[in-house]
Structure 1
Amino acid sequence: MGVPFFEYLEGRCYACKHCKCNLASAGELMSRQFHSKHGRAYLFNAAVNLATGPREERMMTTGLHVVCDVYCSKCMWPVGWKYELAYEKSQKYKEGKVILERACVVDITVTEDGEEEEEGGETESDEY
């Protein structure tokens, strides 16, 4: 097995709370209005540096979906899930999207010199 490859993001992004590995760019954030078993969760159009678990049908508050849990590919910490299939027509927009649980990620900004600065708490102006 070779050396693992990790994608590094620029600017504001979300990273694994455990190891600070970059997971999703703030520009890919679609919604902050999701909930998980650990509280608030964010829906992203795309994410990087994730390993996926097996696909399974799971009953969610919005109906039955086929999902797979996602893990930080650096430390294998569980960080959320990915929607593979939505049965309800109104939920099809979620297919291929990733949920990152707020309890599992930190909001950071990567500066031009590659340093990471952790963002403060959320404010109302952060809401999308």
Structure 2
Amino acid sequence: MAELLGPRLYSCYNCRNHVSYHDDVISKAFQGRNGRAFLFSHAMNIVVGPKENRQLMTGLHTVADISCKDCREVLGWKYERAFEESQKYKEGKFILEKSKIIKENW
């Protein structure tokens, strides 16, 4: 039986830079620009772009695109502000698109 060398991670599909831990997944039931997406409590090795208001499926939010720190591939976005009370739990959280990340140490 193979032993894991470290924690289960998600990495940028383009350059394999580590961007989040599996333990930081809050939900796998989100929709991104290109299909399914995961909501994470934390992300690492990313660059947060400028904030902008966007009308998403769940209402108006202030978001900032997030990119891989190494290759600059856009991986998803960070929720900066939710205008509807029922969506406030997303503030400060990160969306990573499933098509833009790969599993490591699984």
> TM-score band (shorter)?
over 0.9
Equivalent in 16, 22, 33 of residue 29 of structure 2 = 33
Counterpart of 1:31, as a letter, is: S
Deviation at 1:37, TM superposition (A): 1.6
Counterpart of 1:91, as a letter, is: Q
Cα distance between partner residues in 1 of 2:40 and 2:33: 18
Q: Write the mapping of 1:1-128 to structure 2, written as runs, cut at 5 A.
A: 10-109=6-105, 119=106
Cα distance between partner residues in 2 of 1:107 and 1:63: 30
Q: Deviations over 1:59-113 (max 9, x none)?
A: 000000000000000110110000000000000000000000001000111xxxx
SS in 1 for 2:44: coil
Deviation at 1:52, TM superposition (A): 1.1
The normalised TM-score by structure 1 is 0.77
Bigger CA radius of gyration: 1
Cα distance between partner residues in 1 of 2:91 and 2:72: 23
Cα distance between partner residues in 2 of 1:45 and 1:105: 16
How many positions carry a matched residue from both structures? 101
Q: Which has the higher contact order (CA 8 A, sep 6+)?
A: 2
What 5-or-longer segments of structure 2 have no aligned partner? 1-5
Identity %: 43
Q: 1:115 corresponds to which residue?
A: none
